[in-house]
A and B are shown apart, each in its own frame.
Chain A
Amino acid sequence: MPATALAEADSAPAVVTPSAMPPSFGTLALRWYRLNRAGLRAAAIGVISLLAFLLVWHLLTTYRVVFFVRFTNVPSPLAVYASFTKAIHDPKFLMHILLSCRRIFIGFSLAAIVGVPLGLIMGRFKLVHEIIFPVAEVLRPIPAIAWVPMAIMLWPTNEQSIVFITFLGSFFPILVNTLHGMSLVDPVLVRAAQCLGARERSIFREVYFPASLPHIFTGLTVGMGVAWVSLIAAEMISGQYGIGYFTWEAYSLVQYADIALGMIAIGVLGLGSSVLIRGAGRLVMPWRAK
């Protein structure tokens, strides 16, 4: 028997018998609904729950509820919306946002550029791991915020020390996850590459790196989250600009609506940047697409 004939028997795809008539629009819509029911349901519930949150917020602030926590001075959603419409026409507000984004971009990029290769090399070369790991383990538990005074001493400008704090916040999650990914690389895949003629460098590029990518992206996602936490803390303490500083300044100036506006802006920016990383991950790892 020829190999191809045998092969087809094994690999014949499941055949869907097409119905004689092309399905009507109604049938198609119904089928689409049936297939996407779970997603639609989740989206609908999501929208309802967000609206409910707004409603509760509205009620609590309109009636100035005091029940253990005090909503007396908390701005209502409408007040926040009003200050939002004012803020988006204010170049100063936009500059705060832009500066924060720039700090995140520089600090996070540096952390990725240093953390990922360092993790890969530490995962591959025992000696590098043995030298660097103990230092990393001692520095890692120190929260980025605790670095603020030291950072101010270390760097000549405020801007640099804030970027440094952001860098530190995202560096350790990226490094640790890259290392973790390297430790999980299937040794059989390395052997498979070796007996196909791959040498050290190719194995690194073709096996270790792609095998670690899912964990690297976990590290980048976590790192991005911590980068924002660190950035906002640093801006509140030592900044002159930035969305964290904006929020703190609003408190000092008794502009309560701006406090909530700053908080929401931080939330949206954080969400947006993690969406960006997830998108990049999907682009870089097409084999993981569902």
Chain B
Amino acid sequence: MSEVSVNAPKGHIEVRDFSLAYETIEGAVQAVTDTQIHVKPGEFVSIVGPSGCGKSTLLNAVAGFLKPTTGIVTVDGERVNGPSAERGMVFQQYSLFPWKTVRENVEFGLKMRGMPRSQRERAARTLLGLAGLEAFEKHYPEKLSGGMKQRVGIVRALATGPKVLLLDEPFGALDAQTRVIMQQILTNMWQRLKISVLFVTHDIDEAIFLSDRVYCMTARPGSIKAEIPIPLERPRQQSMMMSSEFLALRRGLMSLIREESLKAMGGEITDMGMQGLSIELHGHSLADVI
């Protein structure tokens, strides 16, 4: 544990005047434009938005996989210009190395750092124990369930003691029950390690339940539409999801996203149009009514 637990929160992410454009034959396509976000040390921040709004693009830029067209990304004041073990990443498709056992996957970052074998084996076992995976250390990822794979993914990203954990729709491929458990595990680990988390999701409940703050993005070209603080107390319980406070936040965020999703679908479906689609048919077919 000494490898990964540090008392002072760390990992101050700042994204300033950020924009990112792709070059295509028809010219530059703006994916993200004029975006400012920040994550304070030890804070849990989510980004939600309609699909294709560039939230993953933004996350990949923080990870260092994409270079901003304009603007700057810094972590603790240092400019990001390439991937590094300081920013751990968890992917939607788990991305475990199929040729490595669960433990070897977790050890990978430590191995890259040159830690001796016996030491990193011990560190990996400790971490796997925390995630309830010690019995599976010798298994290959293929044999694991989705929830277990993603637990390994999170543990692997945390093993090197990063300042920041970046998660790109990490629970998107899991079933609802597993998802809830994974959210709880992630929260526990985050509170224990006191690192900053930037979490991308399209699940509004998930974003509210996990975060201190939620950024809502506009449809493409993406930018920040709203920033919503989540004042729910911690530790959070499943039962809170029924509280009026939670539901109010949910309603607010829902309407923000709905607006943007409609725009993302081409802007032709207006609220009027949506109402038109919900005509009471009273047993008639749509053709009859029209």
* A interface list, Cβ under 8 A from B: 1-11, 186, 188-189, 191-199, 202, 206-207, 210-211, 213, 285-287
Contact = CB atoms under 8 A, between A and B. Distances in A.
Interface in B199-251: none
Given A202-B112, A211-B99, A195 B185 contact: no
B30 interface: no
B130 A193 contact: no
Contacts of A211: 99
Contacts, number: 104
Contacts of A4: 129-130, 132
A3 B131 contact: yes
Contacts of B89: 191-192, 195
Which of B85, B97, B109 has the most chain A CB within a 10 Å cutoff?
B97
Given A1-B184, A11-B133, A287-B142, A195 B99 contact: no
Interface of B: 63-65, 82-85, 87-89, 91, 93, 95-100, 108-109, 112-113, 129-133, 135-136, 140, 142, 145, 147-148, 151, 156-157, 160, 178, 181, 184-185, 188-189
Contacts of A193: 97, 108, 112
- Give chain A's interface secondary structure class: helix
A188 B95 contact: yes
A139 B156 CA distance: 46
A197 B184 contact: no
A10 B99 contact: no
Contacts of A2: 188
Contacts of A213: 99
A22 B169 CA distance: 49
A196 B120 CA distance: 14
Residue from A11, A189, A285 with most neighbouring chain B CB atoms (10 Å): A11
A92 to B, nearest CB: 47
Given A6-B185, A195-B87, 5 more contacts: A4-B130, A8-B132, A188-B93, A189-B97, A193-B112
Contact of A207 (B85, B97, B131, B157): B97
A287 B145 CA distance: 16
Contacts of A186: 95
A206 B148 contact: no
B130 A189 contact: no
A195 B64 contact: yes
